[in-house]
Chain A
Amino acid sequence: MANATVVDGVSRLLRFKLQSWNAFAPGLDSQSAWREWLLHPSDLPSELGKTSLKQIPPMLRRRFTPLGRCAAGAALPILEGVDAIPGVFASRHGDTPLTLSLLEGIASGEPMSPTGFSLAVHNALSGLLSIARKDVSEVTAIAATENLIPNALIEAATQLQESSSVLCVIYDVPLPELYQPYSDSVDFPCAVAMILTRDEGDDFVVQREESLNDTAQSDGFSGLLRVLCGLESSVSFGSASSYWRVSRG
């Protein structure tokens, strides 16, 4: 193996088991739909469209913005029958359509909506899901400009030291047009939810690498989904500062 798994006494390799996963994007809401789309990719709408979220009571459902509906659409199906589970919620940009609308309101001198303000924080979605599911387990909300997916998995896998299973949800929506010249983002709303465990499910490994693998994916979501769907055995992620590989173990 090109990369030593232990460097200066520090392991560069983290193992976990994947009990279940689900992903959500416009028109793609099952593992078979994702597999089909990955084999025959087509353009997806940049808007989420209608989602039912029937698991959430209506009075709470109205608080879910498109970003939240996308993430919840991925997470809720694998949480059926799960009473309490800690969660890692990872989004690179968070709810930028919402924060932009709040900023535009400030600019035009309008008083700010308390609801909009309360939902604009990065951990708002995990809070809503916590209320909806009556699950008071700890939640962690993370953001990363680079390597969001391996960082989210590392956080979740690390929490397996404390809990026997951990939910990991990774989600983003396209940036509003105003921001697009300044940063890249997903082309369509996308969320992946995974339940990581200590001892139930398929073996996975996250590891740090010395250099970027040839198969590195610029679009992290579809790379991860190719591995989840069994179309590839590993996916590499890289940035100027570090390289990571997520693979079936």
Chain B
Amino acid sequence: MSNLQLEIKQMIIETLDLEDIEPNDIVDDEPLFVEGLGLDSIDALEIGLALQKRYGIKLKADSEDTREHFASINALAVLIESQRAI
């Protein structure tokens, strides 16, 4: 697990009040929503806001790209890396 992946997991746990979950419980390439971690649509909005606050990333709620970015921890890491590269 890279530092960025760990950072994202900590952000998600903190933002979404996932009290009973440790970073190690979240698998890098597993789905975050519905299956896997089991987050819901309100969580998606909350993560979107956290990405904006912490990394300055603005996402369109209805775009297909956003769905892909939110697929897993790894996908979020790719998104954040790509924004940093700009």
Interface residues of A (CB under 8 A from B): 58-59, 62, 111, 113-115, 118
Contacting residue for A114 out of B17, B19, B38, B49, CB 8 A = B49
Q: Are A118 and B42 in contact (CB under 8 A)?
A: yes
Contact string, B23-58, partner A, CB cutoff 8 A, digits 1/0?
Answer: 000000000000000110011011001001100000
Contacting residue for B42 out of A58, A111, A115, CB 8 A = A115
Contact string, B5-33, partner A, CB cutoff 8 A, digits 1/0?
Answer: 00000000000111110000000000000
Q: Tell which of B18, B42, B46 has the most Cβ of chain A within 10 Å.
A: B42
A-B contact pairs, 8 of them (CB 8 A): A59-B39, A113-B49, A114-B42, A114-B45, A114-B49, A115-B16, A115-B42, A115-B46
Known contacts A111-B52, A111-B53; A62 and B16 CB within 8 A of each other: yes
Q: Are A113 and B20 in contact (CB under 8 A)?
A: no
In the assembled complex, the Cα of A111 lies from the Cα of B52 at a distance in Å of: 10
Chain A's interface: helix, strand, loop or mixed, by majority?
helix
Which 10 residue pairs are nearest across A and B when measured between Cβ atoms? A114-B45, A62-B17, A58-B20, A115-B42, A115-B46, A59-B38, A114-B46, A111-B49, A118-B42, A114-B42
Closest residue of A by beta carbon distance from B16: A62
In the assembled complex, the Cα of A62 lies from the Cα of B53 at a distance in Å of: 22
Q: How near does chain A come to B69, taking the closest CB pair, in angstroms? A: 17
Q: Given contact pairs A62-B17, A114-B49, A115-B46, enumerate 9 new A-B contacts (beta carbons under 8 Å).
A: A58-B19, A58-B20, A59-B18, A62-B16, A62-B18, A62-B19, A111-B52, A114-B42, A115-B16
Closest residue of B by beta carbon distance from A118: B42
Q: How near does chain A come to B9, taking the closest CB pair, in angstroms? A: 16
In the assembled complex, the Cα of A120 lies from the Cα of B18 at a distance in Å of: 20
Closest residue of A by beta carbon distance from B21: A58
Closest residue of A by beta carbon distance from B53: A111
The residues of B that contact A115 with a CB separation of less than 8 Å are: 16, 42-43, 45-46
Q: How near does chain A come to B36, taking the closest CB pair, in angstroms? A: 12
The residues of B that contact A113 with a CB separation of less than 8 Å are: 46, 49
In the assembled complex, the Cα of A115 lies from the Cα of B49 at a distance in Å of: 11
The residues of A that contact B19 with a CB separation of less than 8 Å are: 58, 62
Q: How near does chain A come to B23, taking the closest CB pair, in angstroms? A: 16
Closest residue of A by beta carbon distance from B19: A62
The residues of B that contact A111 with a CB separation of less than 8 Å are: 49, 52-53
In the assembled complex, the Cα of A62 lies from the Cα of B38 at a distance in Å of: 13
In the assembled complex, the Cα of A118 lies from the Cα of B16 at a distance in Å of: 14
Q: How near does chain A come to B34, taking the closest CB pair, in angstroms? A: 11
Closest residue of B by beta carbon distance from A119: B42
Residues of B35-86 whose CB lies within 8 A of A: 38-39, 42-43, 45-46, 49, 52-53
In the assembled complex, the Cα of A58 lies from the Cα of B53 at a distance in Å of: 26
The residues of A that contact B16 with a CB separation of less than 8 Å are: 62, 115
The residues of A that contact B46 with a CB separation of less than 8 Å are: 113-115
Closest residue of B by beta carbon distance from A57: B38
In the assembled complex, the Cα of A59 lies from the Cα of B12 at a distance in Å of: 13
In the assembled complex, the Cα of A111 lies from the Cα of B20 at a distance in Å of: 26
Q: Tell which of A58, A59, A111, A113 has the most Cβ of chain B within 10 Å.
A: A59
